[in-house]
Amino acid sequence: MNAITLPKQEQVNKTAQTNLSEIELTQTVGNIYADDAKMSIRNANVYYGDKKAIDNISLDVAKNQVTALIGPSGCGKSTFLRCLNRMNDTIDICKITGQFTLDNENIYTKNLDPVLLRARVGMVFQKPNPFPKSIYDNVAYGARIHGLTSNKAELDEIVETSLQKAGLFNEVKDRLNDPGTGLSGGQQQRLCIARTIAVSPEVILMDEPASALDPIATAIIEELIDELKEKYTIAIVTHSMQQAARVSQHTAYFHMGKLVEMGKTEDIFTRPSHKLTENYITGRFG
């Protein structure tokens, strides 16, 4: 079998190469606008030193819906996601231009403290990264640093509801004081989601939240995302096209720092307009 597929793979790579020069000229196809946009990004460019990582991207993140960002490795989707809560500010050589708004408010102004922005736009990372503290302290941390509660009972309440929303409470309710790092990978990721929810953000950014997890844990996370969109706006970066198809309402396909195509998820996966998108979602490359 291997002997047969190998030459064909090379062929595909060649076509991808030829398409690449094509894309230089093309604009984003599909529909980047949302009826009810929570976040809007216009003409975003991101540079790492001299290297351009994001090239003139515009899109909307629809309110109380899941927007999936897909694309091959190194296409800039994580970089783009990190711009949405100014996580890239911590990288010295990173330069960002363009307009980013949250509820029609520019997030890259001097008046807006990134601390406040990150409380409103939470983030869940690729690798589960609980703090080396107890489960309780992990969830309570955000509420504590922002001074959201005035007494222990309120804090307990927040921790419990957050863990419940993340579907973790029943599994850990008897061991809230155990270290968060002692949980399984899937549980850790749900703990990180609970930790993010505890601050009651408006938007949750998820950077490949299930890529380090097994299929069962992934399924649980996906279910969770589906429930969470009732209350939160979600933008998710994923490598798995099935996952994007299952959880998202909108899909944006990134390629080499450009936004190739964006639209309703069912449209993207059934009738892709762009050749690159079609190649990617049919698994020919990427």
Partner 1 sequence: MTKLNKDLNGDSSNSTNTLSTTEKISLSLKNRHRKEKRFKHIGLFSVLFGFLLVVILIGDITSKALPAFNQHWVKLDVNYQASWLNISDYSVQSPITKQMKKANYRNVLKKSLYQMFPDVSGRKDKRKLSKLLSSNAEFTLKNNLIAFPKLFEKKTQVWVKLDDDVDSYLKEAFPLGEAGLRIGQKQAQWLAQLIYNERVESRFNFSFFTASDSREPELAGIKGALMGTLLTMFVTLLLSFPLGVAGALYLEEFAPKNRLTDFIEININNLAAVPSIVFGLLGLAVIINLFGLPRSAPLVGGIVLTLMTLPTIIIASRAAIKAVPPSIREAALGLGASKMQVTFSHVLPQAMPGIITGAIIGVAQALGETAPLLMIGMVAFIVDVPSSIVDSATVLPVQIFLWADSPERAFLAKTSAAILVLLTLLLIINLSATMLRSKFEKK
Residues in contact with partner 1, shown as a per-residue x/- string from 101 to 120 under the rule CB under 8 A: --------------xxxxx-
Nearer to partner 1, 198 or 245 (CB): 198
Nearer to partner 1, 24 or 50 (CB): 50
Single out the residue of 122, 167, 186, 209 in contact with partner 1 (rule: CB under 8 A).
Answer: 122
**Crossing angle between the packed helical segments 135-146 and 185-197, to the nearest 10 degrees:** 20
Instruction: Tell me: does residue 125 bind partner 1 (CB under 8 A).
Output: yes
Residue 123 C-beta: closest distance to partner 1, Å = 4
Single out the residue of 142, 167, 209, 263 in contact with partner 1 (rule: CB under 8 A).
Answer: 142
Single out the residue of 48, 108, 131, 285 in contact with partner 1 (rule: CB under 8 A).
Answer: 131
Contact 188, 221 (CB under 8 A): no
Instruction: Tell me: does residue 234 bind partner 1 (CB under 8 A).
Output: no
Q: How many angstroms separate the first and last alpha carbons of the chain? A: 20
DSSP secondary structure, 46-110, as one string:
EEETTEEEEEEEEEEEETTSEEEEE-STTSSHHHHHHHTTTGGGG-TTEEEEEEEEETTEESSST
Nearer to partner 1, 70 or 191 (CB): 191
Single out the residue of 8, 127, 175, 271 in contact with partner 1 (rule: CB under 8 A).
Answer: 127
Q: How many residues bind partner 1 (CB under 8 A)?
A: 26
Contact 53, 74 (CB under 8 A): no
The total of other beta-carbon atoms located within 10 Å of residue 37's CB is 19
Tokens 């380090």 label which residue? 212
Residue 66: beta bridge partners?
234
Rounded Cα distance, 200 and 195, in Å: 10
Nearer to partner 1, 119 or 155 (CB): 119
Rounded Cα distance, 260 and 56, in Å: 11
Instruction: Tell me: does residue 145 bind partner 1 (CB under 8 A).
Output: yes
Single out the residue of 2, 35, 132, 174 in contact with partner 1 (rule: CB under 8 A).
Answer: 132
Nearer to partner 1, 83 or 268 (CB): 83
Would you report the helix, strand and coil content of the chain in percent, each value rounded to 5?
Answer: 40, 25, 35
Residue 177 C-beta: closest distance to partner 1, Å = 13
Q: Which residues bind partner 1 (CB under 8 A)?
A: 85, 87, 90, 92, 115-119, 122-125, 127, 129-132, 141-142, 145-146, 192, 195-196, 199
